[in-house]
Structure 1
Amino acid sequence: MQVKSGLSRQIRDTWEAELGKTRRTSYPMPGPDFTYGVNSYIKDGGVALALGQWNSREAKSLPRKLERDYIALNREAVRSGLVTAHEHQVYRKHHQMWRPLPEECTKPQGLNLPTNMTFGISTRPSTPIGDLLEHRYQRQWVEQQRLAQEAICLKSKEKIKKSKVQSTRTTLLRKYQPPEDPAPLWHLPRFQKIGPHLDTFQTPEMRQKAFSAHNSDAVARRGLHGLGIYNIG
């Protein structure tokens, strides 16, 4: 009892604030013979045993649980003539069909790499500082642009030479072939001898001349009846 009371008095004196001094906010440090850390109770032989041998564990294949193939069971049940749910349940109780194992489990792990294969990426070649200081790449780019522009101009000139000659009014009139007069429309016999009520031409010759001039000029005009602007392009 005296030992406990003395220990409690010592702890109390340690934590109580002394007169004229600040209160201690940390634990008292142990003596110089104190060893820090946690005791290890595992005896594995130390460094010598680790260098002398290598403890490796063998890979154990875990037992895989087979799963029932319900799709195959349903297919076989339908082939047997069973269509109701109760008949399918009875068929599953008396027949067992298992799904095959995944292919990735049966394939060997890892890749078959060649023995002389070098891993990594190739080193980037050094930049030619002399070419940069002499502006060689700039001159090369300007020369490429000049050659490309000359090629475009040459192609445009060849296209103009090979393009079709534009047709004029004279060439269109030369190629024009007047169509044949269609057969006259059928009229009632009582209206065949009745003449027109209005005639704007002075004589029939002037009327024929005007219509012939219109038909010859209609080929160069736009529109269904050749009454539009001239088609020159």
Structure 2
Amino acid sequence: MINAVGRDIPEEILEMTGKEVFHGNNYFDGYVFQKASPSTKCVINSNGSKVIESIHEALVKCEIRDGMTLGFHHHFRDGDYIVNMVMKEVHEMGIKDITICASSLGKAHDPLVKYIEDGTITNTQSSGVRGKIGEAISNGKLKGLAIMRSHGGRVRAIETGEVHLDISFIGAPTCDDYGNCRGIGGKSNCGVLSYSMVDGDYADKVVAITDCLVPFPNF
């Protein structure tokens, strides 16, 4: 189907995503949508701490299963290994058909290529895919779709429910044992955690990963 700027968009992509072609800048003016909301589990008898020992335990508690969408952010840029650590554990648990919805993916995430090749990761959604991940996608190794969005487009897609995050992982320079995160104060300061705010608000389950636990409240 031809869009408003003359590009021919494959019909099968429109069917797979449920999207319309681009109709012009003002096409959705006045469009009304209902914001999505996460499922929330009440915790009545808390032991006063949410700290657990490992990513594996976190995935078990979050009931990881095939076909889920996992959210990540990229505040640590080329120093980010959170995605690699999580996906290594997901792979070792035998989980398949995962969609990664990251604010961005770069050279630090080259180790994910093997998980793309074996079907652990079958779809990606990101503002950019650089390094070996970009090469793998360009060479047709990704079994599903690679969807590219701006940072604001990712936020809007999550808010509207177009993207549903089953579990999001927030790498934080500091965190207290109730899960309150800050982008400063630890060994890996990144300034702010704004890219992951929508993950914290809309994901069904949120896992904070830190190398610096601080006393409550972490503000």
> TM-score per shorter chain, which class?
under 0.3
Which structure has the bigger radius of gyration?
1
Query: Which structure is higher in strand share?
Result: 2
TM-score normalised by length of structure 2: 0.12
